[in-house]
């Protein structure tokens, strides 16, 4: 039996209601993935970005992540089997600049810091049955990403590095499920697009023209 509920991650009451819904339907939450994110479909310099766009990006990506982590941890450490929380990173997580979506990059840089801080807090409170991890899906051909394919550079890197959601999921999901199955309580950082894979694709493109026009027509 399938079901669902509406949740605005920027509203604490909505996130609490989501946890209650999951508890009622599933009894336990073994895996919680914080995937909600936004760049307000805005690709422009910060000086041209509206207040509304900035508020949407920051409240969704930072406040929303914190609220979801808080509620997931509160539930998980009160269930005997504990649980695993996965925070999804994004462009900017590694500290590299993200021109045209600076606010998004800044919020994603904070994801890694928050994960480490939560790990430290759990250890400090001697909570041994809840672990916070990071997930890195790389570039995924969502509407959010493709809406930014408006420059020569963006088209170049989307064609080289991006993958469709099903390809990314086929890699990430088994790796996520393996962690509770193996009863591992060690924080992990699961990456789909590794540095080696990225550099290999760039080389293949430059040397052999691989993946040219794969998703978008290049100039």
Question: Which residues are catalytic, by number?
Answer: 104
DSSP run (H or E) holding 60: none
Helices 12-26 and 64-76 meet at what angle, rounded to 10? Answer: 40
β-pairing verdict for 130-136 and 189-191: parallel
Question: C-alpha dihedral over 82, 64, 139, 145, to 10 degrees?
Answer: 150
Instruction: Please tell me what DSSP assigns to residue 44.
Output: S
Question: C-alpha dihedral over 145, 150, 151, 154, to 10 degrees?
Answer: 10
Q: Which of 134, 32, 9 is nearest to 83 (CA)?
A: 32
Q: Cβ(79)–Cβ(28) under 8 Å? A: yes
Q: Using CA atoms, how far apart are residues 72 and 5, in angstroms rounded to an integer?
A: 16
Using only C-alpha atoms, what is the Rg of the chain? 19
Which residues are bridge partners to 190 per DSSP?
135
Q: Which of 196, 99, 216 is nearest to 156 (CA)?
A: 216
Count of positions (residues) in the chain: 219
């Amino acid at each position: 039996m399938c079901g669902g509920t509406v949740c605005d991650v920027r509203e604490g009451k909505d996130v609490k209601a989501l946890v209650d819904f999951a508890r009622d339907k599933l009894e336990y939450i073994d895996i919680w993935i914080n995937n909600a994110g936004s760049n307000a479909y805005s690709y422009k310099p910060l000086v041209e970005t509206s207040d509304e766009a900035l508020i949407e990006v920051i409240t969704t990506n930072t406040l929303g992540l914190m609220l979801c982590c808080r509620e997931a941890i509160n539930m998980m450490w009160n269930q005997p089997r504990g649980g695993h929380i996965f925070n999804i990173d994004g462009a900017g997580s590694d500290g590299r600049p993200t021109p045209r979506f600076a606010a998004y990059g800044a919020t994603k840089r904070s994801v890694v810091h928050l994960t480490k801080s939560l790990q430290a807090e759990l250890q400090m409170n001697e909570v041994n049955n809840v672990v916070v991890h990071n997930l890195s899906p790389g570039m995924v051909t969502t509407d959010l990403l493709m809406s930014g394919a408006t420059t020569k550079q963006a088209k170049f890197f989307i064609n080289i590095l991006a993958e469709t959601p099903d390809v990314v999921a086929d890699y990430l999901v088994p790796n996520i499920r393996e962690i509770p199955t193996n009863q591992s309580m060690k924080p992990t950082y699961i990456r789909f697009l590794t540095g080696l894979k990225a550099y290999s694709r760039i080389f293949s493109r430059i040397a052999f023209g691989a993946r040219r026009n794969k998703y978008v027509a290049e100039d």
